[in-house]
Amino acid sequence: MKKTLYLLLLLISGFLASCNNLETYAEQKEKESKAISSFLDRDICVRDENGDTVCYVGKIEAITEKQFLDQDSTTDLAKNQYVLFSNSGVYMQIVRKGTGEKLESGKTARVICRFVEFNILGDSIQLRNDVNYWHPNPDIIKITNYAGSFSATFDTEYNGGGAMYLQYNSTSVPSGWLIPFSYIRIGRQESEDEGIAKVRLIVPHSEGQVSATSNVYPCFYELTFQKMRD
């Protein structure tokens, strides 16, 4: 009897300890918010597993959407500005608006996307397709503009899917990735002095890929977009 009672007490204490170790969703969101705030104030180089610099982020100056629009929908690179979209919590820096034209309302396009995905909570690169291994097999986004509202999926028709699809087993494009398409052009580079669209994003879990959404962590992205040939 005493042995049974002792085992029962052990089970109960173990259960209570495990419950205490579980974070609530509110606690996870609070941790995410603090991680993003810290990231904004860090002077950071994003490095790969070899210690080589992939991109330099630096301390970020957050600006409002009004200031962004007043600046002709640009972010001042000299000040390392990122615009905060308050409805989504996504921060965006436009490095280059790109060549060609914006995607018109009612039109659909296939866009090649190269990216670096940095897990802000994990403080490390989680995924990237801007390396030689992925060059023959890029991520392709099929995107449609519905009167200024964008919908997109990862297209697996041409190559069976790129890094995002193969890593996360989902054709869902992070909704945070769609925000830049209201402001960038998605043509192709035709001359040396042209540059395809390039943006940097801080994407909270609610606007991120499926793993970020389910595990509640934010990611930093550096992305380029280029329209596929017809």
Q: In the chain, what are the domains? A: 24-227 (3.10.50.40)
Q: With contact defined as beta carbons under 8 Å apart, do 182 and 76 qualify?
A: no
**CA-closest candidate to residue 183, choices 107, 115, 98:** 98
CB-based contacts of 95, cutoff 8 Å, min separation 6: 77, 198, 199, 200
Residue for token pair 């697996």: 156
End-to-end CA separation in angstroms for the chain: 78
* β partners of residue 55: 46
What are the C-alpha distances in Å from 98 to residues 88, 106, 155, 192, 225? 24, 21, 22, 13, 8
Residue for token pair 């919908």: 151
The reported pLDDT for the residue numbered 16 is 40
pLDDT in tens, the chain (230 residues): 544 544 444 444 444 444 445 889 999 999 999 999 999 999 888 888 888 899 899 999 999 999 999 999 999 999 999 999 999 999 999 999 999 999 999 999 999 999 999 999 999 999 999 999 998 899 999 999 999 999 999 999 988 999 999 999 999 999 999 999 999 999 988 766 679 999 999 999 999 999 999 999 999 999 999 999 87
Question: Helix, strand, or coil here: 136?
Answer: coil
For the entire predicted model, the pTM comes to 0.89
Looking at residue 203, its amino acid is V
CA distance 189 to 30: 42
CA distance 202 to 117: 10
User: How are beta strands 53-56 and 45-47 bridged, if at all?
Assistant: antiparallel
